[in-house]
Amino acid sequence: GSQTLRVWGEGRNRSDAVEQAKKNAVYEILFNGVVKGNKGYNQRPVVTVVNARQRYQAYFDTFFMDDGEYAKYVSMQDRRIGTTERVVGSAQVRCCITVRVLCPQLRAKLRQDGIIQ
């Protein structure tokens, strides 16, 4: 079902960094899969088409826009006290969060839109 990930994001402020971390989590599930961590929970990428990011660039650019479709498939339900880290640099804020990616719903959306079979 769903995957719980710990991801980093960077932005001008904390909220931008958190949104970027959410995008990074969905991106990892879609194109790279989960290969680190407990071996029993490893998952292949949802999109297995070669060069899918470039082939469907217009679709994924819209999907990953700020407040885009990706946000429907990320849940902050697994957030716990002490699991958020924040590093403030000179120009950027880096933030690490724990999120849950709703893989079955994400897979169904991509199937409905004709990206995967």
Which pLDDT score, from 0 to 100, does residue 39 have? Answer: 66
Region of residue 16 (phi > 0: left; psi between -120 and 50: alpha; otherwise: beta) = alpha
Return the closest-CA partner of residue 26 out of 3, 49, 55, 48: 3
Provide the whole-model pTM. Answer: 0.85
pLDDT-above-70 percentage for the chain? 84
pLDDT tens for 34-80 read 877 666 666 788 898 888 889 999 999 999 998 899 999 998 876 65
pLDDT of 29 reads 93
Average pLDDT, the chain: 85
